[in-house]
């Protein structure tokens, strides 16, 4: 049985699944129920960056500022496979009580050059380079989504 568990952990780690369930199991305890209801660990890459899906762009933005605190708590709670970095992005969140179900991979919204230019223009007054790029991308995605709805 121990060999099977080790093999499952090895395969899960290679696939980028968070710590073979350990991280998923402790996530609500570490971040609290409110954050766990709006942010869920999806996968970890080989560099140790944990992709965390959030219920909205607002949650992703807010949690980015809490990342050092969350990482510190994870380091104390996890014996092994602790992420080195957290990346928050909107994506599917499991319904309460369905935390162990696999998360679907969200479809990438395709934006046009014009939508990206409009997004960049809308964000151009933001001084912070990283924030400006994130807002421009979010604005372009919002424009694309609205354009698709209008065309339907």
**pLDDT tens across 109-118, in order?**
688 999 999 9
pLDDT, tens only, 86-144 = 999 999 888 765 444 454 555 666 889 999 999 999 989 988 888 888 888 888 888 88
Q: Do the beta carbons of residue 23 and residue 13 sit within 8 Å?
A: no
pLDDT, tens only, 70-85 = 999 999 988 677 889 9
Q: How many CA atoms lie within 13 A of 93 on its CB side?
A: 22
**Predicted structure pTM score:** 0.53
Delineate the domains of the chain, giving CATH numbers in brackets.
6-90 (3.30.300), 113-151 (no CATH)
Tell the residue number behind the tokens 């380091």, with chain if given: 75
CA torsion 20-22-25-28 (nearest 10°) is -120
What is the pLDDT, as a whole number, of residue 95? 73
Give alpha helix (H) positions in the chain: 2-15, 22-31, 33-36, 57-77, 113-123, 129-151
CA-only gyration radius of the chain, Å? 18
């Amino acid at each position: 049985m121990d060999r099977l568990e080790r093999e499952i952990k090895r395969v899960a780690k290679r696939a980028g699944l968070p710590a073979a369930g350990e991280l998923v199991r402790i996530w609500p305890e570490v971040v609290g129920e409110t954050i766990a209801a709006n942010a869920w660990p999806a996968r970890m890459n080989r560099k140790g960056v944990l992709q965390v899906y959030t219920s909205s762009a607002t949650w992703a933005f807010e949690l980015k500022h809490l990342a050092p605190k969350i990482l510190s708590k994870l380091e104390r709670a996890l014996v092994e496979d602790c992420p080195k970095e957290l990346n928050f992005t909107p994506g599917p969140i499991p319904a309460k009580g369905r935390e162990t179900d696999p998360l679907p991979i969200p479809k990438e919204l395709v934006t046009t050059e014009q939508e990206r230019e409009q997004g960049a223009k809308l964000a151009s007054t933001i001084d912070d380079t990283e924030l400006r790029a994130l807002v421009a991308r979010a604005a372009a995605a919002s424009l694309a989504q609205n354009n698709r709805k209008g065309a339907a």
